[in-house]
């Protein structure tokens, strides 16, 4: 056998190598021919929703009591009683503290005695003056000097009585001030001092009382929004109430949306140069629950302020996750008649409660229209000029309940597709492992401020 192989020589080895190479080449060509072209990915698309919306601006505010009083005594003395319950609601005139009245009662009694004494002296002076005037009718019975003296004595007694009455009024006020009463309706705080402590006139803080209904909400408005509101008011886009006040919606921690309706009743008279903002105040009702209990709001709470700055108007809306971001530019992906992906720059507006973002018109060519098919899922796997297989939907998906006025929804259907359907659509559109990421995936879209 070795002899046969040796006898073949170099020519035989070369021939064998050529045959092997030809077989390998034919095998590779057959493998490449058997691989089919990849189908375009299935991507969900939908028309923009069309409905009436109102332009809003959002702020963060803080509640504040309309009236707030620090209770201090108006006389000096020792505390005798605290008849109120700490943290309770009180009415104007309710007794909060009682200061020992005995020293002031003694002063009042003494002043009252002086009044009675001066009343008697005035009565005597009046009688003497009357007799003197009667004698003066007889010529030479009394001198003019004596008449003047009796008249002056009567006037002096009258003045002394008036001074005594004034002193009595002062002591009466001090006696009344021993009973410290609430000057307003509201909620009282705790005892700062308890029975037996000495309190000083106009110095010692006893407690505080704050009003509860209505409640004020203060927030800072930037210059841009301030000018925008004033221009909208001048153009008639904002219609204030007859009182000149503007409507406002307010929400608090743990609440969905802005369930409280209020009014804006105050703008400060100047813009703070350090922050470029102006202080604005809203007022909202804070009634007692029908079944009793406590009021919802207290001073010092943080509030979310939703301020309308225009009349309702028709607008296009797309789900917020369909909006991509490229630095300071916002865009959405649409498809043309050939199912080729196109990128459209958009100007975003407010975010609605159902997670649909308002698309503001720019007035330029290429604006988003109601007839466009917008990519609403798997945008991380999509890039411009890419061909896709659209999975068309009748309505723009939302993450909340449907809102009336949405013309994109099919009759009898809801605009909410549900989280499970959205996740399934994204999963169907996900690329195979190891695929190259698109520019949209490298800069994922997120929620943006309007």
Query: What residues have CB less than 8 Å from 266, skipping those under 6 apart?
Result: 280, 281
Q: What pLDDT does residue 162 have?
A: 95
Q: What pLDDT does residue 327 have?
A: 82
Distances (CA, A) of 394 to 264, 317, 397: 41, 14, 9
> How confident is the model over 357-413, as pLDDT tens digits?
888 887 777 888 888 899 988 888 888 898 888 888 778 888 765 555 544 433 333
Q: How confident is the model at residue 34 (pLDDT cuts 50, 70, 90)?
A: low
**Is the pLDDT at 153 greater than 70, yes or no?**
yes
Q: Are 375 and 45 in contact (CB under 8 A)?
A: yes
**Is the pLDDT at 77 greater than 70, yes or no?**
yes
> How confident is the model over 428-443, as pLDDT tens digits?
444 433 333 333 333 3
CB burial class (10 A; 0-12, 13-18, 19+) of residue 33?
exposed
Place of tokens 């700490």: 86
Instruction: Report, at the CATH architecture level, how domain 105-177 is classified.
Output: Orthogonal Bundle (1.10)
Question: 338-350 burial, b for 16+ CB within 10 Å, e for fewer?
Answer: eeebbbbebebbb
Section 168-183 average pLDDT? 94
Q: What pLDDT does residue 111 have?
A: 94
Q: What pLDDT does residue 161 have?
A: 94
Q: How confident is the model at residue 235 (pLDDT cuts 50, 70, 90)?
A: confident
> What would the two tokens of residue 297 be?
């709001």
Mean pLDDT of the chain, nearest integer: 81
**Is the pLDDT at 158 greater than 90, yes or no?**
yes
Q: What pLDDT does residue 20 have?
A: 57
Section 110-127 average pLDDT? 94
Q: What pLDDT does residue 309 have?
A: 79
Instruction: Report, at the CATH architecture level, how domain 56-65+216-308 is classified.
Output: Beta Barrel (2.40)
Question: 128 φ, ψ to 5°?
Answer: -60, -40
CB burial class (10 A; 0-12, 13-18, 19+) of residue 253?
exposed
Q: What percent of the chain has pLDDT over 70?
A: 79
Q: What pLDDT does residue 26 have?
A: 53
**Top-tier CATH class for 69-100+178-210:** mainly beta
Residue boundaries of the structural domains of the chain:
42-53+312-442, 56-65+216-308, 69-100+178-210, 105-177
Highest mean pLDDT: which of 200-214, 323-337, 397-411?
Answer: 200-214
> How confident is the model over 257-268, as pLDDT tens digits?
889 999 998 999
How many other CB atoms sit within 10 Å of the CB of residue 398?
25
CA distance 247 to 37: 60
**Is the pLDDT at 240 greater than 80, yes or no?**
no
93: left (phi over 0), alpha (psi -120 to 50) or beta: left
Q: What pLDDT does residue 25 have?
A: 52
Q: What pLDDT does residue 12 have?
A: 53
Question: 246 φ, ψ to 5°?
Answer: -105, 145
**Is the pLDDT at 417 greater than 50, yes or no?**
no
Instruction: Give the residue from 51, 55, 47 showing the smallest Cα distance to 315.
Output: 51
Instruction: Give the residue from 232, 222, 225, 191 showing the smallest Cα distance to 208.
Output: 191
> How confident is the model over 308-326, as pLDDT tens digits?
877 788 889 999 888 888 8
Least confident of 212-216, 306-310, 418-422: 418-422
> How confident is the model over 279-290, as pLDDT tens digits?
999 999 999 988
Q: What pLDDT does residue 443 have?
A: 34
**Tally of residues, the chain:** 450
**Is the pLDDT at 425 greater than 80, yes or no?**
no
Q: Considering the entire predicted model, what is its pTM?
A: 0.64
**Is the pLDDT at 1 greater than 80, yes or no?**
no
For domain 42-53+312-442, is the CATH number 2.40.420.20? Answer: yes
């Amino acid at each position: 056998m070795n002899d046969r192989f040796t006898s073949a020589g170099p020519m035989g080895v070369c021939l064998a190598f050529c045959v092997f190479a030809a077989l390998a080449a034919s095998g590779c060509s057959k493998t490449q021919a058997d691989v089919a072209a990849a189908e375009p990915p299935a991507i969900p698309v939908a028309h923009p929703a069309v409905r009436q919306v109102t332009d809003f601006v959002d702020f963060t505010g803080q509640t504040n009591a309309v009236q707030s009083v620090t209770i201090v005594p108006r006389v000096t003395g020792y505390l005798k009683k605290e008849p109120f319950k700490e943290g309770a609601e009180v009415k104007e005139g309710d007794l909060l503290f009682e200061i020992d009245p005995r020293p002031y009662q003694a002063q009042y009694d003494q002043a009252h005695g002086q009044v009675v004494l001066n009343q008697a002296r005035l009565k005597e002076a009046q009688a003497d003056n009357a007799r003197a005037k009667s004698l003066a009718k007889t010529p030479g019975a009394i001198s003019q000097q004596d008449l003047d003296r009796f008249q002056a004595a009567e006037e002096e007694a009258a003045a002394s009585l008036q001074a005594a009455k004034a002193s009595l009024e002062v002591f009466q006020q001090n006696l009344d001030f021993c009973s410290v009463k609430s000057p307003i309706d509201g909620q009282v705080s705790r005892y700062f001092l308890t029975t037996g402590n000495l309190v000083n006139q106009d110095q010692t803080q006893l407690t505080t009382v704050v009003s509860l209904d209505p409640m004020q909400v203060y927030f800072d408005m930037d210059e841009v929004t301030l000018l925008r509101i004033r221009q909208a008011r001048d153009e008639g886009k904002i219609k204030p109430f007859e009182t000149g006040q503007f409507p406002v919606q307010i929400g608090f921690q743990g609440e969905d949306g802005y369930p409280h309706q209020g009014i804006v009743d105050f703008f400060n008279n100047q813009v703070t140069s350090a922050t470029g903002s102006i202080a604005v105040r809203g007022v909202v009702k804070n009634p007692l629950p029908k079944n009793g209990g406590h009021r919802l709001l207290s001073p010092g709470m943080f509030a979310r302020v939703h301020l309308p700055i225009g009349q309702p108007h028709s607008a296009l809306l797309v789900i917020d996750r369909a909006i991509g971001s490229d630095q300071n530019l916002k865009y959405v992906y649409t498809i043309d008649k050939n199912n080729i992906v196109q990128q459209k720059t958009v100007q975003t507006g407010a975010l609605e409660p159902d997670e649909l973002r308002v698309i503001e018109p720019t007035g330029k060519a290429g604006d988003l229209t109601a007839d466009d098919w917008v990519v609403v899922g798997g945008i991380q796997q999509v890039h411009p000029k890419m061909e896709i297989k659209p999975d068309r939907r009748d309505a723009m998906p939302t993450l909340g309940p449907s809102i009336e006025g949405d013309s994109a929804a099919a009759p009898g259907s809801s605009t909410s597709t549900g989280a499970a359907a959205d996740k399934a659509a994204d999963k169907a559109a996900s690329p195979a492992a190891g695929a190259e990421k698109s520019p949209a995936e490298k800069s994922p879209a997120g929620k943006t401020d309007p």
